[in-house]
Structures are given as structure tokens and as C-alpha cells.
Amino acid sequence: MPVVECAPEAARDRLEAAGVTVAPGNTDHERWRASHAGATAVAYDDKVVVQGETAGTPGRPPSGGCS
């Protein structure tokens, strides 16, 4: 699973700007989670973990960052 060390709120803003729905986390330690195109991103305090068979974007690796 790719892990992106970044500000989770910046990642959330980028996902929402791209039209991806962001939902509350499923547990106390998850800040939020979002699913799109077969991948799920789960945010923690200082990182976002991407899970799924299509975790990347064509032309961009999943660890592309969220700045």
C-alpha cells in the first residue's frame, strides 16, 4: 500500500476539488476516507494510505504527494 506523508487536510482539499466524496473515518484513529475508481484513501494524523488495485492515477504514481 502506498503511503503519502503529507498534511491530510491538503490531500482532502485536493480530493474534494477533483469531485471525490470524502467521508468520516471508520475508527477513532482515521481522520477521513475517500474512495474513487477502485482505490480508497485513508487519512491518519500525518499521512494518507492508499489501498486498492488502481491506487495510482494514469501518468502519476500513487506517491505523488499532496502539496
User: Does residue 39 sit within a domain?
Assistant: yes
Which pLDDT belongs to residue 61?
46
User: Does residue 59 sit within a domain?
Assistant: no
Which pLDDT belongs to residue 58?
46
User: Does residue 35 sit within a domain?
Assistant: yes
User: Does residue 16 sit within a domain?
Assistant: yes
Name, in order, each residue with C-beta under 8 angstroms of 14's C-beta and a sequence gap of 6 or more: 66
pLDDT tens sequence across 11-65: 999 999 999 999 999 999 999 999 998 899 999 999 999 998 654 554 454 545 5
User: Does residue 26 sit within a domain?
Assistant: yes
User: Does residue 15 sit within a domain?
Assistant: yes
Domain span at 35:
3-52
**How much helix, strand and coil, in percent to the nearest 5, is found in the chain?**
15, 35, 50
Rg (CA), the chain: 11
Q: Where are the alpha helices (DSSP H) in 1-67?
A: 8-17
User: What's the whole-model pTM score?
Assistant: 0.75
pLDDT tens sequence across 25-35: 999 999 999 99
What does the alpha-carbon distance between residue 1 and residue 23 come to, in Å, rounded to a whole number? 20
How many structural domains are present in the chain? 1
Which pLDDT belongs to residue 13?
96
